[in-house]
Amino acid sequence: MPEHRVGRMSRVLTGAHVTEVPRFQRQPWLTGVIVGLTPIAVGLARAMLELFLERSHGRPIATTTHMDTAAATRTHLLVAEAAQKIDAADLLLHRGAAMLDLLAATSTSPSVAARVKTRADFAYAAKLSMEAVQMLFQDAGASAIAEDSALSRVALDSHAIPIHSAFNPTTGLENYGSVLCGQMPPAMLMGEHVVV
């Protein structure tokens, strides 16, 4: 590995790495790195909605009088709510990314409040995305759990991001709530290197 491709974590933790990258890439070290995972969560949710809608046309809903899932009011309510969750997740993702872009463009070091809010946005976007996926998966029928089912793969993969420590919604809410109440998030009391 050529030396110019190696990044030293010690430089990242102290913020010294920012002089080595173009201005538009100068984002808070971990928040900027992990922002790349949240779009995956939103993308998985969009894929699940698309798969669900494709599958619903002409398919009966077992043990009901509905002969076409796509024509059933219950399906309309389900897909509309899932789509709203996905759109809300997308908006949170873009708000957080815009904050990071602004910080990078202005070479501004984020306040604790800005860091916590951005991380909370990403974590909550991942949570909403997973919820949308699970809503649709639970109503897709038992055949959706087959190992070769795309619905099953998306449903399983959708759990990966919200259970990652960087995107844990409970942690994100706890830290954001601390700031809203005028308190320092508990993790930040351990030092600026903490990944909040």
Query: pLDDT tens digits for 28-37?
Result: 555 555 677 8
Nearest to 131 by CA among 41, 34, 35: 41
Q: Please give the tally of structural domains in the chain.
A: 1
For residue 17, tell me if it sits in a domain. Answer: no
- Which pTM does this prediction carry? 0.81
pLDDT mean over 88-116 = 87
117-139: buried (b, 16+ CB within 10 Å) or exposed (e) per residue? bbbbbbbbbbbbbbbbbbbbbeb
For residue 31, tell me if it sits in a domain. Answer: yes
> What's the pLDDT at 162?
84
Compute the distance between CA of residue 23 and CA of residue 44 in angstroms, rounded to an integer.
31
User: Residue 41: pLDDT above 70?
Assistant: yes
Q: What percent of the chain has pLDDT over 90?
A: 41
For residue 156, tell me if it sits in a domain. Answer: yes
Higher pLDDT, 144 or 76: 76
For residue 7, tell me if it sits in a domain. Answer: no
Nearest to 88 by CA among 48, 132, 53: 132
Compute the distance between CA of residue 110 and CA of residue 106 in angstroms, rounded to an integer.
11
For residue 68, tell me if it sits in a domain. Answer: yes
Tokens 């815009």 map to which residue?
A: 98
Cβ(185)–Cβ(196) below 8 Å: yes
User: Residue 190: pLDDT above 70?
Assistant: no
For residue 151, tell me if it sits in a domain. Answer: yes
User: Residue 47: pLDDT above 80?
Assistant: yes
Tokens of 96: 């957080």
Tokens of 181: 């109440």
For residue 138, tell me if it sits in a domain. Answer: yes
Q: What is the pLDDT of residues 16-26, one digit of tens each?
A: 655 666 665 55
What is the domain-level CATH number for residue 37? Answer: 1.20.140.10
> What's the pLDDT at 104?
77
Compute the distance between CA of residue 63 and CA of residue 111 in angstroms, rounded to an integer.
55
CA distances from 14 to 28, 29, 36, 141 (A): 11, 10, 22, 51
> What's the pLDDT at 155?
93
Could you tell me the residue range of the domain that residue 166 belongs to?
23-190
Q: What is the pLDDT of residues 122-181, one digit of tens each?
A: 999 999 999 999 999 998 888 888 888 999 999 999 988 888 877 888 988 999 999 999
For residue 117, tell me if it sits in a domain. Answer: yes
Tokens of 2: 């050529």
> What's the pLDDT at 14?
60
